[in-house]
Copies of this chain bind each other. A is one copy, B any other.
Amino acid sequence: MTPQTPKPRSRRERPAKPALTYDGIIATAVQLMQTEGLQRVTMRRLAQELDTGPASLYVYVRNTAELHAAILEELLGEVDLRQAKAARDWRGRLVSVLTSYTMVLFEHPTLAQSALVARPSGKNYLALVEALLALLNEGGVPDAQAAWGVDVLLQVATATAAEQSTRDRAVDAQDEHDALTAALLGASATTHPRIAALGSELLSGSPEARLEWIFRMLINGALHTPRTDD
A: residues with CB less than 8 A from B are 62-63, 65-66, 69, 113, 116-119, 121-122, 125-127, 129-130, 133-134, 137, 143-152, 155-156, 158-160, 162-163, 165-166, 172, 175-176, 179-180, 182-184, 187, 191-195, 197-198, 201-202, 204-205, 209-210, 212-214, 216-222, 224-225, 227, 229
**Do most interface residues of chain A lie in helix, strand or loop, or is the interface mixed?**
helix
Complex formed: what's the CA distance from A230 to B191 in Å? 30
With a cutoff of 8 Å between Cβ atoms, the chain B residues found around residue A219 in the complex are 221
6 interchain pairs, CB-CB under 8 A: A66-B176, A137-B194, A151-B210, A155-B156, A212-B229, A218-B221
Contacts A198-B146, A201-B143, A224-B220 known; A176 to B130 CB distance under 8 Å?
no
CB distance from A75 to the nearest CB of B (A): 17
Question: In the complex, which residues of chain B have a beta carbon less than 8 angstroms from the beta carbon of A137?
Answer: 194
A225-B220 in contact (CB<8A): yes
